[in-house]
Amino acid sequence: MKASEEEKKKKDKESRKGAKKLRAAREQINQQVFYDLEKAVEVLRSCSYVKFDETLEIVMKLGVDPRHSDQMVRGVVALPAGTGKTVRVAVICRDDKVADALAAGADFAGSVEIIEEIKSGKINFDTCIATPDMMGVVGGVAKILGPKGLMPNPKLGTVTTDIVTAIKNVKSGQVEFRVEKAGIIHAGVGKLSFLAQDLLKNLHAVISAVIKAKPTGAKGTYLKAMYLSSTMGPSIKIDTATISQIV
């Protein structure tokens, strides 16, 4: 019991210390000002207070209602400087394609055995790629993969006969974006340790892809608001007028 109480005190102390550092980081940001992308990246890099390499994250508020099919915003974008993350890829294919998938960099490849692992709750991958001839089998685990955002989709390039290219695209830094119920898109665009110009290239790529994905049913202002933050850091409001030249 004593050890448990000591552990609780230690966690409470660390929590208070973290909250204090976050407040100090927030004080470096003028909440009344809308920043341009370059300045926002500079500020977030300077006020990072944690010991791990944080991810730079972008949040975009769109003028859409995703409950309507003609207002759905979804797509993939290749980040010029990559994501800084290791992506585990599973490929569901016929046995004669397994060797090609593994040679191209897939972490797991197979057919029925991967389906059975998914059914048992063993999902040790971040992206799932499937060949078209296996989609009938993959459909059996759609209710498991779908809610996790792992269901292969031809629009995202994860249902394809060219599995080698698909694997390389995912491994090199391909990011999927999809609007949430409240009209929000959230995406990680690299690590704070990246060079500032690389983070800006990645930001431009994501923003451009989202703007180009504007659905036919969107009315009025499409890009309503934008924010940048780091994993544990404060949020910075972005002046959307400064990104009009990106597309």
Structural domains for the chain: 31-73+179-243 (3.30.190.20), 89-172 (3.40.50.790)
Q: Share the mean pLDDT of the chain.
A: 88
Under the banding of pLDDT at 50, 70 and 90, the label for residue 16 is low
**Is pLDDT above 90 for 160?**
yes
Q: pTM for the full model?
A: 0.76
Q: What is the DSSP string of the chain?
A: -HHHHHHHHHHHHHHHHHHHHHHHHHTTS-TT-PBPHHHHHHHHHHT--SSS-PEEEEEEEES--TTSGGG--EEEEE-TT--SSPPPEEEE--GGGHHHHHHTT-SEEESHHHHHHHHTT----SEEEE-GGGHHHHGGGHHHHGGGT----GGGT-B-S-HHHHHHHHHHHEEEEE--TTSEEEEEEEETTS-HHHHHHHHHHHHHHHHHT--TT--S-SEEEEEEEESSS-EEEB-GGGGTT--
What residue has token string 């059996």?
140
Question: Which is nearest to 232 in space by CA: 2, 29, 49?
Answer: 49
pLDDT of residue 17: 52
Q: Rounding to the nearest 10 degrees, give the CA dihedral for residues 14, 230, 172, 197.
A: -130
**Is pLDDT above 70 for 227?**
yes
Q: What is the mean pLDDT of residues 153-170?
A: 92
Instruction: Please give the residue that has the higher pLDDT: either 98 or 14.
Output: 98
Contact 247, 212 (CB under 8 A): yes
pLDDT of residue 14: 47
Instruction: Please give the residue that has the higher pLDDT: either 18 or 198.
Output: 198
What residue has token string 């029925």?
112
Which of 12-16, 99-103, 150-154, 175-179 is predicted with the least confidence, judged by mean pLDDT?
Answer: 12-16
